[in-house]
Amino acid sequence: MSEPSTTTFLKALSNEKRMQILEWILTPRDYFPEQVDGDLVDDGVCIKFITDKIGLQQPTVTSHMTILAAAGLVTSNQIKNWVFYKPDRDAIQKAMSAFQARIGV
């Protein structure tokens, strides 16, 4: 899979809810309780915890997570019946560097 464009990266972050979710999952132990299944850092945060914290319906949160994943900012992992999301730190760094290069910073 090719790297997402700078435009895709910026569009993914243009929504306040997606920015909030990304902030939370970058340091998940600061924002979420320990999970029965899956480690918050190693496996990611369960969609249920994200949904409960953001206060939106699960299909809406899933849509936000799909956009973040398409932009390469998060990866998903299924454990049992749930999907867990964690940040792709390398991809985030590459996207930030590409953005900075594009605007000449």
Interval 48-89: pLDDT, tens = 999 999 999 999 999 999 999 999 999 999 999 999 999 999
Q: What is the three-state SS of the chain?
A: CCCCCHHHHHHHHCCHHHHHHHHHHHCHHHCCCCCCCCCCCCCCEEHHHHHHHHCCCHHHHHHHHHHHHHCCCEEEEEECCEEEEEECHHHHHHHHHHHHHHHCC
Correct CATH for 6-103 of 2.40.370.10, 1.10.3720.10, 3.30.460.80, 1.10.10.10:
1.10.10.10
Judge if pTM exceeds 0.75: yes
Average pLDDT estimate for 29-44 = 96
Mean pLDDT of 13-21: 96
Q: What is the pLDDT of residue 105?
A: 82
